[in-house]
Amino acid sequence: MIRRLREYRSRWTVALPIAAALLLIPTWGRQLVPIAVLLVAVFLAGAVLAAVHHAEVIAHRIGEPFGSLVLAVAVTAIEVGLIVTLMAGNSEKNATLARDTVFAAVMITCNGIVGLCILVAALRRRVAVFNPEGTGAALATAATLATLSLVLPTFTTSEPGPRFSTGQLVFASVASICLYVLFVSTQTVRHRDYFLPITTEGEVVDREEHVSPPTARTALISVALLLVALVGVVGLAKVESPTVEEVVDSAGLPPSVVGVVIALLVLLPETIAALRAARRDRVQTSLNLAYGSAIASIGLTIPAVAVSSIWLSGPLLLGLGATHMVLLALTVALGTLTVIPGRATPLQGGVHLAVLAAYVVLAVSP
């Protein structure tokens, strides 16, 4: 029976990513009827679950923090493609799409994923334990990238509005890439031990001992299927985006809500993977995914959008408004207080989730 269940799981995690990618052929660029919208949503959810499965297989093979890095980079790279595609479709209307999506990703990862994982782990084991050195370094990098890329454009005077001049945009892009590369080298080479999971008893977990790691061939297949699944996730999200925009417009909601929805869809695989890690007392893995995703989202998106702005006709507005800057400052302050002790209770998780709830409420009703 167990063998049959494993075979069934293996089959659907292979079939669904391929089916989701193939579904893009008849649906891409077309107006969908309600039944087709529902079908796309079902395959989108299946592709998300398949992506989580293959990311966990890869992580089990190569260990932490490499596994978290693979998922964060893969998701963010596809997210960049989705943002650029939508901006190319209507540059004037989507001038703030990159800012809205990146900021939504930062709030979802640094408050939503962090808060949920701390809450789940602390409720199961009284406290959530993690490494403050590695988590603090990740938080500092994410805060610096967010400030340089999303806060400074509001206060510069070279260009009208919350936007960078060409020279300033080049600097922000180069700084983002350099900081991202420096963080990755710190996480995976020089100080890898800072990012390894720690159990509640204080034991460092380099590899899961109770389950033998998958073979190299299985891991390579999972890499390929992960990429296919992520293409399906983001591609089907793009297919669904006109429906989302219509719903947002008909409900009288601000355009920034579209960025929130995109970020929620794209970050679903990482959210599920982080929650599963938290349930297994691997809070550090969850935080690696959360803060790593925030860093990748800014560090890869801003340079990509800067390059794409060369041929995009509309303006590129990156600066945050006053309300969002307050939320960002509060997120950094709370994150710092949470990280410093290396231990968190359900209270810290609840506080982070309250900030995320405030962001969602203000996004819907600014």
The pLDDT tens digits for 217-272 are 888 888 888 888 878 877 887 787 777 777 777 877 787 787 787 788 778 878 88
Looking at every residue in the chain, the average pLDDT score rounds to: 83
pLDDT tens, position by position, 146-169: 999 999 999 998 888 888 988 999
Rg of the chain over Cα atoms, rounded to whole angstroms, equals 20
Give the pLDDT means over successive 10-residue stretches in the chain (366 positions).
Answer: 45 84 84 82 81 76 69 70 66 74 92 94 90 93 94 90 89 92 87 80 61 76 85 79 76 78 78 88 90 88 82 80 95 95 93 95 87
What's the pLDDT score for residue 210?
A: 47
Catalogue all structural domains in the chain, each as residue range(s) with its CATH number. Answer: 2-364 (1.20.1420.30)
In whole angstroms, give the CA distance from residue 199 to residue 216: 27
Query: What's the whole-model pTM score?
Result: 0.81
